[in-house]
Homo-oligomer: A and B are copies of this chain.
Amino acid sequence: MDERVREHAAVLVDWSARVEAGDDVVVAIGEGAHDLGVAVVEELGAIGANPVTTYSSAEVTRAYLRAHGGDVDAAPAHQLALYENADAVLMLRGSHNTTGAADVPPDIRHDWPTQTVRDALYSSDWVATLHPTRAHAQQASMAFEPYREFVYDTVLRDWEALADEMAQLKDLLDDGSEVRLVGEQTDLTMSIDGRLAVNSAASVAYDSHNLPSGEVFTAPTATEGEVTFDVPMTVEGTRVRDVRLAFEDGEVVDYSAAQGEATIGEVLDTDAGAGRLGELGVGMNRGVDRITDNILFDEKMGGTVHLALGRAYDACVPDGTGNDSAVHVDLITDLRESGRLSVDGETVLEDGRFRWED
């Protein structure tokens, strides 16, 4: 086994999920994540934790949902009991075909596992990560070997040092009142007054549940102005490009896109909260140096900014008034060439460099 797989497992178990002896852990192994699964279980054995290995596959999900037709049991007792009794859930993504469930009708696509089951899962110390497969390399339009290099560059970092660096941005956002984003066809202001930023350092100890992570995010309100998202994305299975949103009084009042405009319209039509921002995030993982069409990585790209339509994260909203919606759709703008993010008039990020990097 590639030694990096073992290192990945050690970061996941020790840094990210903080697993301890006696912990009951669910290891959700993707159809292509066998090797990482073996390494993770080995790490859990060394610690003295108790793994249950589950199996995730888009083909399994597709077969179940298409045969069932939807309206699945909200809370199967065995599934709920598994997650309610788990201290941690480690999701090892790793697909053989990232479009393996593409023909499940949209109305039943998000029903399984149900919200009740997901709530139980998300009340554990859960962490999602990805084992590099050829299918994920293909989604990134990359060859397999360089894709593996890419993934491990993003995962095997000095997380302690990055957490310290990100703490500087968290402090600025926690203390600040207004964020302004200026760039190509972009001039947007948002209030962050009374909101808390999350230093997402790829560890449950930092309220962070992705490995890799490496972003600082908060929940903006009262958005005004316009923004262009120049990073191509896949939203709800559809390619979108050059999405432009115009805001007034915190709400989207106009939108367009060079590609996938209808999909953006559908997202905005979901519910009242879908037309407001739920997240302002700043990517700070310098291992993520290219777009790979996977939000787990893309939104953490060092020097980029992403905004999400829809649901805000509770951790950012101490007074509980965060934006609510069934959706949370991230869109990314790349400020690395030219652009600026400022807090209360002070430039924090310009042309892809943070002010403490000079």
Interface residues of A (CB under 8 A from B): 22, 24-26, 29, 31, 34, 37-39, 41-46, 48, 50-57, 59-60, 63-69, 72-73, 76-86
* CB–CB A53/B54 < 8 A: yes
Let me know if A81 and B72 touch, CB within 8 A. Answer: no
Q: Which one of B25, B34, B42, B81 lies within 8 Å of A81 (CB-CB)?
A: B81
Other A-B pairs beyond A50-B73, A52-B76, 13, CB < 8 Å: A26-B78, A38-B57, A38-B59, A38-B63, A42-B63, A43-B67, A45-B63, A50-B78, A53-B55, A53-B57, A55-B55, A78-B83, A81-B85
Give the top 6 A-B pairs by smallest Cβ distance, nearest first.
A45-B67, A81-B81, A50-B76, A45-B68, A42-B63, A78-B85
14 pairs of residues in contact across A and B, judged by CB atoms under 8 Å: A26-B78, A37-B55, A41-B60, A41-B67, A42-B64, A45-B67, A45-B69, A50-B76, A52-B54, A53-B60, A54-B55, A78-B81, A78-B82, A82-B82
- Pair A67/B55 contact, Cβ less than 8 Å: no
Determine chain A's interface SS by DSSP, over half rule. helix
CB pair A42–B55 under 8 Å, yes or no, is: no
**A84–B77 alpha-carbon span in the complex (Å):** 9
Residues of chain B lying within 8 A (CB to CB) of residue A46: 67-68
Q: Give Cα A29–Cα B43 distance, bound, in whole angstroms.
A: 22
Least distance between A83 CB and chain B CB atoms (Å): 8
User: Does A64 lie within 8 Å of B82, measured CB to CB?
Assistant: no
Please give, as numbers and ranges, the residues of chain B lying within 8 Å of A84 by CB-CB distance. Answer: 81
Give complex CA distance A115, B323 in Å.
Answer: 49
List the B residue with the shortest CB-CB distance to A30: B55
How far is the CB of A173 from the nearest CB of chain B, in Å?
A: 37
Judge whether B78 and A52 touch: CB under 8 Å.
yes
Of A44, A66, A72, A81, most buried by chain B (CB within 10 Å of CB) is A81
Q: Closest approach, in angstroms, between the C-beta of A46 and any C-beta of chain B?
A: 4
The answer to whether A64 touches B45 (Cβ under 8 A) is yes
Which chain B residue lies CB-closest to A62?
B38
CA distance A63 to B38 in the complex (A): 6
Give A80 to B82 CA distance when docked, in angstroms: 8
B52-A66 in contact (CB<8A): no
